[in-house]
Structure 1
């Protein structure tokens, strides 16, 4: 239904990645985020190195990655629901200020000599909480800042921001540590959040106007989970992302130990390794458009996954930092190409109403792979050796290359996820309260019996669509006295939820519905009927019968 091949997801005339900079608000937010990202990578590098010098435990060092990823694993789904329900600008301002305070406090504690390995892990965990609450809202604002045809370019530039700052941040952080103290790095990171706060404060975000009843928090959570449950393409992206990050987490979690223990080098070399990795990622972003036009995404991901398997093997066996620099450059390219390809894919396959929630679940899978992998590979390194852990991680990535046999990424033309404004509101002769329900919707078709099998096959994606957008049950009944009469039905919990269904319907969904309706042979359009429960009769027998038959 959708494509992960960027050439299929972009306009006929190729869009340069720099096109997004022509939008002033995107340009301002990108520059502010770039400054903040530099501070973040300085913080990450300084935190890992400080913990490496304070503790001899390999598990504690590996837990730094877990302390960063675990909050995302715990809070990403609630954070996505909040980002879809609340004003994203205000939510981002709150999380940015929270992270600024946490980073500054850690800086003060470090400079006063009051820091311990557990203090570092605790404050890293708090920063992870801020990141978890911030990221779904941050990722979901990109479609609000640029036109949809430019969205892939904007997402690539966001990857450039993260990885260019990764190339700069560790190098700057390493110099500050060498001449001063990690505490100053933490303070600078706290100040870097202020640049983003200023730009967000000045952003005049356009609010969406709707007369549809607003979802409550728990309904929003259920709607997001339901959307993923009935979206096989989204599930494939998540599985692929989690399996990939589980294997590559060994590189992130154990790199500082490779530098300090195997190579016997200092923080400067570790910072240079991260700089080479960031430089490779920026290079990958610059060549992504060209690669996407020439190489199908499955072949692209095959190449990047095998590259990162080779990186793990190199970290396990190479004994010279000099030869590992180009290896980290390749690692950065492969990392960026994989992450951006998956991120562009999932963003292009999401409507705006559920975007932050599904992105948060993607983050859950993505960061879950990093968090769990860091614990696993850290324990393997502790029980056996660094080389053993890295070699096993390389073997895992080899197995990941087989996943396309079971979880293929969507491909084809870019789906149109704009709202289908031509779906009219259901008529009602009397006022209906939003909480009134359940609601039953029936659509009657006249189908040529010779085409019944094809009609039922075409109904499967539409049934999945109904369930994805809020239906509790969905299916098709055949009239035993009239084989040409086929009745689609679906039940919804309340009238308000059914109204939200109307606003969730996209133009891509309309295309799926039209595939079904082309089998209709009646003189008029299929007849649609709405039934709603009257107060005091919340469970009508006919609804229960339908649910039993459908089950």
Structure 2
């Protein structure tokens, strides 16, 4: 078949909830102007999948060369603009420290979707004809548009992913190096009984943030002897990972920190403990020789 391009593009983009881009506005622009600009950009972006669907249907229906070429041009423009817009959306919706990995996953999903969509289009076209394959691709694209309207992604303009840059490496009484570890972190919170439900909801978001930034085995503990004491615990592989973990916090995470702070007593500050795991079988470098390592002077043949 010579008509797989619109359907392959549709199959690769179908089912994607289109995120909303942050709109660059002048510092003195009003909120209403920014909202109107955002809506106009969002409306234009919603029309891109429609252009793909229109191009697929028109290509399958029209029997004349010129109208078909115009339909293919509309579908191709929608395809290129949609892919480039997704590329920008992924970069704007990702923190700076992870943007390369996010782009890699996006590229893998996009080009993998193109390959799978091309195979699926070829299969349908082989068994039911190219026109039916184009109709199916247009229908799938419309389903994707409806899914994006029903389950929209959060507005990127509402997320400030700028690093906080307020954390500094703490001084430790025990000397540590970058590769020292594992490092275990415990944070003690005191929460009144009336705030427990709200605290648990806020800590669910805190768990997501911690794990996103590299924490492992995050848990929340409640002291059985002191019911007001809650302990947040997690660990990282090395001291360097702990530093990176804290440097990855963004300004968007400040809202969660503010909620947790509001649920504690006013005069209480969380107590942070940083510990390093040590195996009981590992001894310091200056240890004495093990008896098994002493030359057996009484048994020169080492028969025992």
Q: TM-score range by the shorter chain?
A: 0.7 to 0.9
Equivalent position SS for 1:483: coil
Residues 1:511 and 2:278 are matched in the alignment:
no
Aligned to 1:420: 164
Q: 1:406: how far off?
A: 6.7
Of 213, 234, 245, 2:12 maps to 245
User: For residues 537 and 244 of structure 1, what CA distance do their matches in structure 2 show?
Assistant: 57
1:330 to 55, 60, 74: 74
CA distance in 1, matches of 2:49, 2:214: 37
Contact 1:312-1:393 at 8 Å conserved across structures: yes
Picking from 270, 273, 295, the partner of 1:526 is 270
- Partner residue of 1:294? 39
Q: Which residue of 2 aligns with 1:396?
A: 140
Shift of 1:340: 4.2
TM value normalised by structure 1: 0.43
Match of 1:431 among 175, 190, 193: 175
CA 244–443 in structure 1, closer or farther in 2 if over 3 Å, else same: farther
Alpha-carbon spacing, 1:525–1:424, altered in 2? closer, same or farther (3 Å): farther
In structure 1, the residue matched to 2:230 is 486
Which runs of 5 or more residues in structure 1 are unaligned? 1-57, 67-241, 249-288, 539-551
Deviations 1:327-373 (A, max 9, x none): 23432443355334433332122222211111110111111111110
Q: Does 1:312 align with 2:79?
A: no
State which structure, 1 or 2, has the greater radius of gyration over its C-alpha atoms. Answer: 2
Classify 1:361/1:412 alpha carbon distance in 2 versus 1 (closer, same or farther; 3 Å): closer
Q: Alpha-carbon deviations, 1:507-530, whole Å to 9, x = none?
A: 222333233222221524211111
- Counterparts of 2:48 and 2:251, CA distance in 1: 34
Contact 2:59 2:72 in 1 (8 A): no
| Deviations, residues 315-334 of structure 1 (Å, cap 9, x unaligned) | 11111121124323432443
* Structure-2 residue corresponding to 1:48: none
| Unpaired segments ≥5 residues, structure 2 | 16-33, 283-304
The answer to whether the 8 A contact 2:92-2:156 is kept is no
Structure 1 match to 2:152:
408
Q: Report if the CA contact (8 A) 1:436-1:534 is conserved.
A: no
Report whether the alignment pairs 1:496 with 2:240.
yes
Q: SS at 2:228's partner residue?
A: strand
Q: Give the superposed CA RMSD.
A: 3.2
Q: Name the counterpart of 2:216.
A: 472
Contact 2:11 2:137 in 1 (8 A): no
Contact 2:183 2:236 in 1 (8 A): yes
For 1:338-349, what aligned pairs fall within 5 Å after superposition? Answer: 338-349=82-93
Contact 1:472–1:490 under 8 Å retained in 2: yes
Matched residues, number: 263
Show the counterpart of 2:128.
384
TM-score (normalised: structure 2): 0.75
Conserved in 2, the CA contact under 8 Å of 1:446 and 1:522?
Answer: no
- 1:353-372 to structure 2, matched below 5 A, reads 353-372=97-116
The residue matched to 1:482 in structure 2 has which SS?
coil
